[in-house]
Amino acid sequence: MKIIKLFIDENIKIWKKLSTKIMIVAIILSLFAVLALVKFMEKTEENTLISNIEVEYEKEDLEREIQYFESQLENEKLDEESRLNFERNLEVNKLYLEYNIRPYSNSWENELTTYIVEQKMNGQDVEELLDILKNKDFNKYIEYQKKQLKQQLDNATISEQEYSDNLTILDLKEKYEIGKSYNQESYWKMTVIEKIKSAQYSLRTGINKETSKLLKVEEKQDLEDSIKLNIYRLEHNIPDSNTGSNSNYRLRFELLAPMFSIAVISIVIIVIAGGTISNEISTGTIKFWALTPNKRWKIMTAKLLSILFYIIILVLITSLVSVLIANVFFAQEGETYLYCKNGEVKEIGNTLYTIEFYFVKAIPITLFALFAVMLSTITRNTAVAVSFSVALYIGNGIAMQILNQFITKDWVRFIPFNNLNLTTKIFPNATDMTSMMFGTNFATSTTLGFSLAVIGICAFLMLVTMYDSFNKRDII
């Protein structure tokens, strides 16, 4: 009970300060700064985006290419491989010209044309395929592929599993018309299909396609989940931002805003935490509390709780303002977060996800705040406490980057700073800016439980130190 009253008092003390309110304004301004930055990027990149440049292929271009291939083929000295290559390209281009197909556009027609030429060169009958190409019938093409697949199964050239996997892919392609028409908006669907294929392959063969290593048990679960997730994406038309176009400026804002504002919040909190004990001692107001019937550990606990509460309030306000800005200033829909639990795909809405993401990103702040309070209690000098803590906060990322480059020993994962990036562990399916920029390093490969344990031990040690120092030393 007494602690609650002390806690309320501490909060009143914090909120009555003018600087507290100024700091909230500063944090919100940092969000607007990010908004301005993203809007600026949008403006400058508007004209240079590849998707906006239409590559027009004229018939003359194709004819010129055909001429080039023919002239090359007249060369007597060509080796067998090049000759085959030229012949193939020549045939493909001829078909493009004949059926009026846009070349090099990654569409299903391109795929089919190449396939036809190959079959033709192998001496197969291609009448049926040419018919499909002529009518531009996407469904027929899928049907044909299915037929081929069945044939392969009957001939026992593929396994039962491979058959069903490929059939799933074809079904998906048919259902969601993936590859039927090529445009920037639906490009993500193709990559999703590729991802599913890759996961299927890994599961089928028991070898991770990306790392070429044997699959572990938990990896298996992850792969199965990722297949379900990607199918869910196609079903509900939820683009995967990791693979989609980079023209989603809302997403950019949603990634940059937490990075910036959490940094500002951290500094604000460190400044406040660094003065908790030392400021009160230097102004003498510590006596204000010490002369009340409250044991010192209660006073300390109330102070720590009030800082924690302040962090929560700041992060909550920031995340809500961030959601608001994103909704007001960007036309795009907010990204939702998908995850798999017990084999079921679940969805977190954009607002809730943004708030959760902010809070997870804010967890390390508590650690730096504790560090600042500890220094404040031990040194009783606000300047020392704040400057050391800020230096550690700003420097730890770079220091760890450098350190991890040189030391690849297993123990570096025990360094607390290597365990601070929790967002990638709690939201493994999220688009993460840091891993996009720096790549995942060795240290981030630790599990969530391990990271939390390291952070917990650190926090515990700091708490013991500060309580001991505050309880035993004289208040003067």
Q: Which residues bind other proteins (CB under 8 A)?
A: 2, 5-6, 8-9, 12-13, 16-18, 283-285, 287-288, 290-295, 474-476
Interaxial angle between packed helices 296-329 and 448-472, expressed in degrees from 0 to 180 and rounded to the nearest 10: 140
Q: Find the shortest distance in angstroms from Cβ 308 to other proteins.
A: 20
- Nearer Cβ to other proteins (206/293): 293
- Nearer Cβ to other proteins (11/198): 11
Q: Annotate 213-248 with b (16+ C-beta within 10 A) or e (fewer).
A: eebeeeeeeebebbbbbbbbbbeeebbbbeebeebb
Q: Find the shortest distance in angstroms from Cβ 14 to other proteins.
A: 11
Q: Find the shortest distance in angstroms from Cβ 309 to other proteins.
A: 16
What is the gyration radius of the CA atoms in the chain, in angstroms?
Answer: 30
Q: Find the shortest distance in angstroms from Cβ 17 to other proteins.
A: 6
Taking CA atoms, 277 is separated from 16, 268, 389, 426, in Å, by 18, 16, 15, 34
Listed in sequence order, the DSSP H helices in 50-159 are: 59-74, 80-99, 108-121, 127-135, 138-154
Interaxial angle between packed helices 80-99 and 108-121, expressed in degrees from 0 to 180 and rounded to the nearest 10: 130
- Nearer Cβ to other proteins (320/475): 475
The contacts of residue 216 (CB under 8 Å, 6+ apart) are: none
- Nearer Cβ to other proteins (181/283): 283
Beta bridge partners of 347: 338
Tokens encoding 131:
């018919």
Burial of 81 (0-12, 13-18, 19+ CB in 10 A): exposed
Q: Find the shortest distance in angstroms from Cβ 285 to other proteins.
A: 5
- Nearer Cβ to other proteins (293/439): 293
- Nearer Cβ to other proteins (136/296): 296
Q: Annotate 393-404 with b (16+ C-beta within 10 A) or e (fewer).
A: beebeeebeeeb
Q: How far apart are CA 462 and CA 476, in angstroms?
A: 23
Q: Find the shortest distance in angstroms from Cβ 386 to other proteins.
A: 19
> Which residue in this structure is represented by tokens 């281009």?
93
Q: Find the shortest distance in angstroms from Cβ 281 to other proteins.
A: 10
- Nearer Cβ to other proteins (7/176): 7
